């Protein structure tokens, strides 16, 4: 069976996906989901593609071909193999779909690598992790994650939110596993995925041990509900080139007395073990590496649109326009340079794997949540009211006003229809609901930027900088 038809079949698992007040009977035909399902199926099918399939996959010890996000980087060249696979996949959606690229598949790989290294005294952890990794890898499953408790009141602990089962907690244990109730926020792409990693993203105090859970849940598990946000998808490919294909959706995951089998439970009511596992650098490193490959791809897309906009109305010769276009280019070059530096200066981890250097990756991640909103702002500044002059639909070109539109909307270097297509693409990136969500995503997907930037400050090795200045001052200053 091809990867694409296998994927489409996997969606028919009775999953509880809720949107617009109804349970979705079939994602493959539902107007909110069918466009993106096609995109995911097309991307997954790249593994069968004679041209790129080899670069995307590796042969496992069980003899199947699996995506390189599952490749354990035992040799230094494996970093480049993983990177190339991320690039091919992310290019299939111009960097707009974050969960397809392999970030959370990489977390599974990282957790597998860590299994014995992080917790040698917990054999059940290592055994379950190994079985899970092998299963997900060999079936090429798609993975997302949900890490946060409902927002409600951030000054309170999970146990202080009123109902003890607001955040996810065990209701009872059975021979088969744990029965869970509560909600986790938010799992991007969940309706299209096979698996969700559920795990808090920050340390849990000992007094809150009942919330210290880490487990993997199959999306189709009975009692698991995915409550989707408002859809940004469109069925009109001509007018909405991105929303019709790439609305990856975000969902709250609700556990309504859902049974999670023991073999999927990695940490149960154990804050120490949880943090031991989560704070290991491998998991974050492998997944951030994918994020940065995707970031380059996304910035390249935005820069190309910006250049086309400038060409289309003949504004390229203005100095401030060149300044803005140059800014889009240096954004690309800065993130690309950090990616290259990280890949060319790999670090051998004691667990026996090679990792791209973490410092430039973290820097790129933190820069990106400032770069992307600015990149979108530049597109807005370049097109000004142009996007609002575009007719509501390309169909107007086929109506009675068509010949007039050809005249009024033509560009400096292109036909009216070509220019309006470009403006519609620009609107998708800068003014549509999908575009606004992309900006929010780039700001927050990697955590609250206020705190991730502060962490970079705290973890930065400042001493060598300070020593130099202190020595100079001690020697009499800078005279």
Ligand X SMILES: Cc1cc2nc3c(=O)[nH]c(=O)nc-3n(C[C@H](O)[C@H](O)[C@H](O)COP(=O)(O)OP(=O)(O)OC[C@H]3O[C@@H](n4cnc5c(N)ncnc54)[C@H](O)[C@@H]3O)c2cc1C
Q: Give the shortest CB-69-to-ligand X separation in angstroms.
A: 16
Q: Give the shortest CB-281-to-ligand X separation in angstroms.
A: 19
Nearer to ligand X, 393 or 452 (CB): 452
Specify which residues 268 forms β-bridges with: 213
Q: Is 25 helix (H, G, I), strand (E, B) or coil?
A: coil
Q: At what angle do helices 319-344 and 358-383 cross, to 10 degrees?
A: 160
Nearer to ligand X, 145 or 363 (CB): 145
Q: Give the shortest CB-328-to-ligand X separation in angstroms.
A: 22
- Backbone phi, psi, residue 344, to 5°: -85, -15
Length of the chain: 479
Nearer to ligand X, 144 or 234 (CB): 144
Q: Give the shortest CB-440-to-ligand X separation in angstroms.
A: 4
Q: Give the shortest CB-2-to-ligand X separation in angstroms.
A: 27
Nearer to ligand X, 240 or 437 (CB): 437
Q: Give the shortest CB-108-to-ligand X separation in angstroms.
A: 14
Q: At what angle do helices 433-444 and 416-430 cross, to 10 degrees?
A: 40
- What own/partner pairs with CB < 8 Å and gap ≥ 24 does 326-333 have? 327/374, 327/378, 328/299, 328/302, 328/303, 328/375, 328/378, 329/303, 331/299, 331/303, 331/371, 331/374, 331/375, 332/296, 332/299, 332/300, 332/303
Cα separation, 64 vs 408, in Å, equals: 57
Interface with ligand X (CB under 6 A): 144-148, 151, 154, 186-188, 250, 437, 440-441, 444-445, 447-448, 450
Residue 204's nearest CA partner among 164, 147, 248 is 147
How many C-beta atoms surround the C-beta of residue 21 within 10 A?
Answer: 5
Q: Give the shortest CB-445-to-ligand X separation in angstroms.
A: 5
Quickly list DSSP for 387-447. Answer: HHHS-S-GGGGGSTTHHHHHHHT--SSS-HHHHHHHHHHHHHHHTSHHHHHHHHHHHHTTS
Q: Give the shortest CB-393-to-ligand X separation in angstroms.
A: 28
Specify which residues 259 forms β-bridges with: 179
């Amino acid at each position: 069976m091809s990867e694409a038809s296998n994927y489409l079949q996997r969606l028919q698992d009775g999953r509880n996906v809720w949107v617009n007040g109804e349970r979705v009977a079939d994602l493959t035909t539902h107007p909110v989901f069918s466009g993106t399902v096609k995109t995911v199926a097309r991307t997954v099918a790249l593994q069968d593609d004679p041209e790129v399939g080899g670069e995307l996959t590796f042969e496992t010890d069980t003899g199947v071909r699996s995506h390189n996000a599952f490749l354990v980087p035992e040799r230094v060249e494996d970093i480049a193999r993983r990177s190339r696979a991320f690039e091919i996949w992310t290019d299939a959606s111009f960097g707009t779909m974050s969960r397809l690229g392999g970030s959370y598949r990489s977390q599974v790989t990282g957790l597998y690598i860590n299994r014995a290294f992080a917790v040698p005294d917990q054999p059940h952890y290592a055994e379950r992790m190994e079985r899970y990794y092998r299963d997900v890898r060999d079936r090429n499953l798609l993975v997302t994650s949900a890490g946060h408790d409902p927002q409600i009141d951030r000054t309170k602990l999970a146990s202080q939110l009123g109902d003890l089962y607001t955040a996810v907690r065990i209701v009872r244990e059975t021979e088969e596993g744990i029965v869970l109730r509560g909600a986790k926020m938010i799992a991007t792409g969940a309706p299209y995925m096979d698996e969700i990693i559920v795990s808090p993203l920050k340390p849990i105090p000992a007094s809150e041990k009942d919330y210290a859970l880490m487990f993997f849940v199959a999306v189709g598990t009975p009692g698991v509900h995915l409550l989707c946000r408002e859809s940004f998808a469109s069925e009109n490919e001509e007018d909405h080139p991105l929303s019709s294909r790439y609305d990856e959706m975000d969902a709250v995951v609700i556990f309504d007395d859902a049974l999670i089998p023991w073999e999927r439970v990695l940490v149960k009511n154990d804050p120490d073990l949880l943090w031991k596992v989560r704070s290991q650098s491998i998991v974050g490193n492998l997944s951030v590496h994918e994020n940065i490959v995707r970031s380059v791809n996304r910035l390249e897309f935005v820069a190309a649109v910006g250049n086309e906009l400038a060409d289309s109305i003949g504004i390229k010769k203005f100095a401030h326009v060149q300044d803005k276009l140059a800014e889009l280019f240096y954004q690309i070059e800065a993130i690309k340079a950090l990616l290259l530096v990280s890949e060319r200066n790999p670090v051998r981890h004691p667990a026996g794997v090679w990792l791209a250097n973490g410092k430039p990756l973290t820097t790129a991640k933190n820069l990106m949540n400032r770069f992307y909103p600015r990149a979108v702002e530049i597109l807005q500044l370049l097109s000004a009211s142009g996007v609002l002059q575009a007719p509501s639909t390309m169909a107007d070109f086929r109506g009675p006003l068509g010949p007039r539109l050809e005249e009024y909307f033509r560009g400096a270097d292109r036909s009216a229809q070509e220019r309006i297509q470009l403006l519609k693409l620009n609107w998708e990136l800068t003014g549509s609901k999908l575009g606004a969500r992309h900006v929010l995503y780039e700001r927050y997907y990697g955590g609250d930027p206020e705190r991730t930037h502060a962490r970079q400050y705290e973890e930065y090795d400042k001493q060598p900088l300070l020593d130099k200045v202190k020595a100079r001052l001690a020697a009499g200053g800078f005279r």
